[in-house]
């Protein structure tokens, strides 16, 4: 853009000769020229058509150049127009006054054409440069504002995004929890089903033969007792038997046989009795397939579980065995899913045995390894079962995660880390009870199971049914 294209110079002078000279010179130089012959008309013109620069005579009739200048500077629309005063050569007071009023320059009369043109050109250029800079400034400001707006928008977007990430993470964590629960329940169902089937199968297979062994031992005992009596009678009545009989008596060591046979039979009877008891415990333990709440004897459940675990309590290395102390209170029959509660006893007792075994194996034991089982009624509504061991206890860190699925401190292959989390679900969610752990590291652990004696009728169906095991969202 050529600056001169839109450059208008307003000449204000009351002397027509001056106007003409300046006007010609400026027009020749390519400026557009406007003229006014006094201050008032100059001010009026300026309102409609803002010039690029004003050449202003000082001495005029009406309002003089200074006053015109003051008014131009007082008006926001015109204050930036550069003003060059035209003054007499000798009058230096006027020059100073003009500059102090805001004029950019002065030219002296009589005019030197070249000087006028040079000064006008310099100030027009300055003015145009200023305008260009101002425009650029405005532009920059706008750009800056846009940038700030964009940054703010971006910030909001980022915040929004972060919020969404947080929400989504929470959702995912929640889903993960549900899935883990589902997995636990599936494993639990699987474990229970397999264990239950196995135990029930074994119990069934062994039950009949052991029953007739046990029943017949009893009769055999009688018969043998009678036979031995008869032999003894023979020995008394016929103190001198034939040679052959005497030989046979020696061969079979009859006197030892008579002494040993009853002992042998009674130990066989004890063995059969023990097998029969274990079978009973198995059946009792595998009651899980009964899919309804049952009114059961909690102590019977604990005893059956202990019976099954018997092999783990006796004859440890270092000749140490685990002592069981029962402090059973008088409990009413409790309404619960017997099979599942037995599973809880099994999990907690197994953990206690694991903890004690570890100490025994490492020969760190100075006191008698003991599991104390304490039961009582609480507030007439609950039964509380405490299973307390004097093992090494549980660190604070581990206590926080005890009931988490898959949390285990046992070596791979030994523990799955599901025992307590399954027990927790059975006690808390399926029986509306509570399962807590109290442990001071180094001083053993105590697990407290609290379950209501009676359940609300409506919860009965879902409580033990297999569908509740399979459905993770129950
Ligand atoms: N009586 C206890 N004494 C010391 N630590 C215990 C005791 N009971 C539980 N724990 C700790 O809690 C952890 C979790 O127990 P949980 O029964 O859930 O899993 P696990 O016994 O490791 O494996 P499994 O699934 O075979 O039962 C154990 O690994 C053990 O560190
Ligand atoms: Mg366990």
Q: Is residue 17 part of a domain?
A: yes
- pLDDT above 60: residue 60: yes
Among 111, 130, 160, identify where a domain stops: 111
- pLDDT above 80: residue 178: yes
Beta strands in 92-188 (DSSP E): 105-109
Model pLDDT for residues 403-426, shown as the tens digit of each residue: 887 888 988 778 778 889 888 988
Q: Is residue 201 part of a domain?
A: no
Read off the tokens for 161. Answer: 């995004």
CA distance 112 to 87: 13
> What is the CA(297)–ligand 2 centre distance, in A?
24
> What is the CA(328)–ligand 1 centre distance, in A?
25
Check if 196 has its Cβ closer than 6 Å to any atom of ligand 1.
no
Among 111, 135, 158, identify where a domain stops: 111
Look up the CATH number of the domain holding residue 25.
Answer: 3.40.50.2300
Distance from CA of residue 334 to its chain's centroid? 37
> What is the CA(330)–ligand 2 centre distance, in A?
28
Of residues 474 and 462, which shows the higher confidence score?
A: 462
For residue 8, what are the domain limits? 3-111
Q: Which of the residue ranges 46-50, 108-112, 442-446 would you say has the lowest mean pLDDT? A: 108-112
Question: Hey, how many other C-beta atoms are within 10 angstroms of the C-beta on 20?
Answer: 13
- pLDDT above 50: residue 14: yes
- pLDDT above 80: residue 467: no
Name the nearest CA neighbour of 355 among 298, 409, 397: 409
Name the nearest CA neighbour of 25 among 38, 40, 11: 11
Among 111, 139, 166, identify where a domain stops: 111
Helix (H, G, I), strand (E, B) or coil at 381: coil
Q: Is residue 123 part of a domain?
A: no
In the predicted model, what is the mean pLDDT of the chain? 85
- Domain total in the chain: 2
Closest ligand 1 atom to residue 416 Cα is: 25
> What is the CA(418)–ligand 2 centre distance, in A?
7
Helix (H, G, I), strand (E, B) or coil at 199: helix
153 neighbors 394 (Cβ within 8 angstroms)? no
pLDDT at site 291? 59
Q: Is residue 381 part of a domain?
A: yes
Give, using CA atoms, the residue closest to atom 7 of ligand 1. Answer: 351
Q: Is residue 265 part of a domain?
A: no
Model pLDDT for residues 353-403, shown as the tens digit of each residue: 999 988 887 766 667 899 999 999 999 899 999 999 998 899 988 998 898
Q: Which of the residue ranges 69-73, 81-85, 192-196, 439-443 would you say has the lowest mean pLDDT? A: 192-196
CA distance 356 to 314: 12
Q: Is residue 239 part of a domain?
A: no
Q: Is residue 273 part of a domain?
A: no
Q: Which of the residue ranges 88-97, 164-173, 306-315 would you say has the lowest mean pLDDT? A: 88-97
- pLDDT above 50: residue 462: no
- pLDDT above 50: residue 194: yes
Q: Is residue 78 part of a domain?
A: yes
Work out the pLDDT band at 464, boundaries 50, 70, 90.
low
Read off the tokens for 65. Answer: 């150049």
CA atoms within 13 A on the CB side of 420: 21
pLDDT at site 88? 76
- pLDDT above 60: residue 75: yes
Look up the CATH number of the domain holding residue 426.
Answer: 3.30.565.10
Which ligand has the shortest distance to the CA of 401?
Answer: 1
Closest ligand 1 atom to residue 417 Cα is: 19
pLDDT at site 210? 86
Read off the tokens for 380. Answer: 């007439």
Element (H, E) at 40: helix 39-48
Alpha-helical segments (H) within 56-112: 65-74, 92-100
Mean pLDDT score, 269-286: 77
Strands 382-389 and 445-452: antiparallel
């Amino acid at each position: 853009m050529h600056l001169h294209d839109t450059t208008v110079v307003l000449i204000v002078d009351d002397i027509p000769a001056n106007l003409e000279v300046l006007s010609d010179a400026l027009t020749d130089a390519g400026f557009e020229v406007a003229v006014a012959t006094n201050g008032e008309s100059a001010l009026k013109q300026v309102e409609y058509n803002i010039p690029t620069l004003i050449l202003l005579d000082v001495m005029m009739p009406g309002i003089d150049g200074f006053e015109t200048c003051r008014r131009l500077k007082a008006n926001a629309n015109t204050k930036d127009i550069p003003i060059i005063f035209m003054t007499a050569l000798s009058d230096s007071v006027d020059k100073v006054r003009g500059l102090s009023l805001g004029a950019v320059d002065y030219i002296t009369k009589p005019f030197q054409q070249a000087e006028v043109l040079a000064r006008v050109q310099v100030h027009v250029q300055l003015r145009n440069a200023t305008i260009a800079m101002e425009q650029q400034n405005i532009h920059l400001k706008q750009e800056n504002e846009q940038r700030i707006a964009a940054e703010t928008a971006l910030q909001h977007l980022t915040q929004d995004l972060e919020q969404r990430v947080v929400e989504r993470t929470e959702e995912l964590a929640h889903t993960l929890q549900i899935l883990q629960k589902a997995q636990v329940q599936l494993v639990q169902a699987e474990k229970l089903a397999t264990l239950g089937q196995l135990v029930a199968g074994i119990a069934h297979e062994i039950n009949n033969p052991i029953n007739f062994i046990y029943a017949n031992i009893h009769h055999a005992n009688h018969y043998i007792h009678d036979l031995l009596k008869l032999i003894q009678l023979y020995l008394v009545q016929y103190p001198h038997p034939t040679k052959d009989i005497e030989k046979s008596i020696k061969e079979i060591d009859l006197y030892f046989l008579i002494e040993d046979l009853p002992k042998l039979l009674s130990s066989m009877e004890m063995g059969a009795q023990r097998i029969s008891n274990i079978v009973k415990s198995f059946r009792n333990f595998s009651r899980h397939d009964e899919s309804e709440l049952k009114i059961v004897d909690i102590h019977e459940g604990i005893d059956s579980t202990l019976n099954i675990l018997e092999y783990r309590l006796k004859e440890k290395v270092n000749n140490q065995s685990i002592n069981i102390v029962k402090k059973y209170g008088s409990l009413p029959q409790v309404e619960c899913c017997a099979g599942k509660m037995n599973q809880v006893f099994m999990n907690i007792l197994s953990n206690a045995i694991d903890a004690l075994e570890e100490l025994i194996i490492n020969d760190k034991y100075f006191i008698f390894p003991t599991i104390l089982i304490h039961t009582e009624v609480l507030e007439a509504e609950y039964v509380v079962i405490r299973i307390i061991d004097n093992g090494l206890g549980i660190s604070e860190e581990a206590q926080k995660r005890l009931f988490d699925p898959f949390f285990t401190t046992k070596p791979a292959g030994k523990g799955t880390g599901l025992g307590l989390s399954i027990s927790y679900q059975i006690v808390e969610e399926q029986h509306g009870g509570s399962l807590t752990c109290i442990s001071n590291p180094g001083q053993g652990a105590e697990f407290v199971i609290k379950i209501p004696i009676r359940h609300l009728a409506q919860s009965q169906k879902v409580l033990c049914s297999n569908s509740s095991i399979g459905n993770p969202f129950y």
